[in-house]
Amino acid sequence: MWNWFLTTWDYVRTSLWFIPSIMIVVGVGLAIGMLQVDAGVGSEDDVRAWWINSGDGEDARNLLSTLLSAIITMASMAFSVTVVALTLAANAYGSRLIRIFRADLRTQFVLGLFAMTIVYCLIVLRSIHGKAPIPEVPHTSVTLGTALALGCVLGLLAFIQGVARSIVADEVVRRVRKDVDKAVAELPELTEENAPEHAPADLPADFNNKAARIPLPYGGYVQAVDYSGILSWAERHDAILHLEFRAGDFIVSGDRRVHVYPAPPDPGKAREEIGKHIVSGDERTPVQDLEFAIRHLVEVAVRALSPGINDPFTATVVIDRLRGALSRLMSRRLPPETLRDPSGKVRIYRQVTTYEGILDAALHQIRQAGSSHPAILIHMLEALARMAEHTRLDEQRRALIRHANLIRAAGERDISEPADREDMEQSFRRAIAACEAPFTGNGQVAQNRIVRTGQ
């Protein structure tokens, strides 16, 4: 249930309709409330401040009509600017990054402010009769409409400033990085007490013979999995499950990727009960999918390195941001491959993200797209050397060494200038030396010396 809520909230917060819809309701309530206030107070003899509207019904209607026309024009401009910004972002950074722009609270609030003011002015305008005498005009309501219109002008200026800043490459990278940092921060700290098992528990010897393969009830991208709910189900039925998918995988209804041991007496019921703990949809989300957030950053770099754009400086910024996120990841514990019940018995075997898999998602495509750019390969090697200072496990260092070798191989294949190749070789040596240096700090001490691969 909680995972469903998280995925639903992620959809809502990245939509352009949620906050404006709430503000439209607020506008309706505000208009009705202010009209009630004006109906209960105010008379011809009231003492009013200079800034409160004091004309008759015709004056009030003319003022509100003028404000309404101006606000509608500004709203049209704001929506046009939003569409143009989304189009530019899609062309330059990829359509999948549009969700980052949709999630901007400033954009949602300004669009909502325009919608709220339009609805407010319409309701107040409808309540005013053109021949109404001064005492019967809702002066406070009209004055508030004027104040909201002034707020729309200021909001439009702030909105245009924000849009102009939001399409700058460095700002796009910074905003995408926030999703990665949030996903990394949610992982627990890696300590000696919760370090990964060196040899995860094996499946029962007769698992393949006695387990039933349960088809998945839904299709699409796996957005979240309620492992606690599945663990409770397995404990109640004294079963062991092997889940051959994880958040971010694409599944088809009917895929037999859930193994239940021993085979349940009613596979259809088991399918229904297990399926309700799996949330799937039309697109991936960062709720449980760390690689999804990383791939957004990678997409910016890959597009920057494409022949049509050829912007290695943006790719360098992405590599720096990835280094920061991956360095913090080295001190975090990834989800374990097995889940146990309170008695300590393994109930769930599952596919999980690994340090090597995350590094693959972060570096493979950038290396492939930038193999002919010496500056990119050298910068990647320097980033690996810096990341090595934050490692705590042999597994992490082996993954860094593997990528250092892949980067050097790409450079030797695609870089022809001897001076560039020599610079790359020096960076490679520094990266390998950093990965083979003794562990320091509070990290887990390496039990086995890491040997250089591919030599």
The pLDDT score that the predictor gives to residue 225 is 92
How far does Cα 30 stand from its chain's mean position? 34
* Tokens 């305008």 -> residue: 125
Residue 137, CB half-sphere, CA atoms under 13 Å: how many? 24
Report which of 404, 386, 415, 383 is spatially closest to residue 450, judged by C-alpha positions: 404
Rounded to whole angstroms, the Cα distance separating 225 from 246 reads: 8
Name the nearest CA neighbour of 99 among 28, 174, 179.
179
How far apart CA 112 and CA 83 sit, in angstroms, is: 16
Tell me if 298 sits within 8 A of 176, measured CB to CB.
no
Q: What is the pLDDT along the chain (455 residues), one digit of tens a residue?
A: 566 676 777 778 788 889 999 999 999 999 999 999 888 775 444 545 656 766 778 888 999 999 999 999 999 988 888 888 888 877 877 777 777 778 888 889 999 999 999 999 999 999 888 777 877 788 889 999 999 999 999 999 999 888 888 888 888 888 888 888 888 988 889 887 766 765 567 788 889 889 999 999 889 999 889 999 999 999 999 999 999 999 999 999 999 999 999 999 999 999 999 999 999 988 888 888 888 889 888 999 999 999 888 889 999 999 999 999 999 999 999 999 999 999 989 999 999 999 999 999 999 999 999 999 999 999 999 999 999 999 999 999 999 999 999 999 999 999 999 999 999 999 999 999 999 887 655 444 344 333 333 33
What pLDDT is stored for residue 282 in this prediction? 87
pLDDT confidence of residue 197: 61
Contacts 24+ apart (CB under 8 A), 78-85: 78/110, 78/111, 78/114, 78/156, 78/159, 79/111, 81/159, 81/160, 81/163, 82/16, 82/107, 82/111, 82/163, 85/163, 85/166, 85/167
Beta bridge partners of 280: 222
Three-state SS string over 276-341 comes to: CCEEEECCCCCCCCHHHHHHHHHHHHHHHCCCCCCCHHHHHHHHHHHHHHHHHHCCECCCCCEEEC
Domain spans of the chain, in order of start: 2-167, 182-191+290-336+353-436, 207-281
Contact by Cβ (8 Å): 294, 319: no
Contact (Cβ atoms closer than 8 angstroms) between residue 128 and residue 62: no
Instruction: Provide the pLDDT for residue 399.
Output: 96
Position 45 scores a pLDDT of 46
Q: Classify domain 207-281 at the CATH superfamily level.
A: Pyrimidine nucleoside phosphorylase-like, C-terminal domain (3.90.1170.30)
So what's the pLDDT on residue 8? 78
DSSP 245: -
> What pLDDT does residue 1 have?
58
Give pLDDT, residue 218: 87
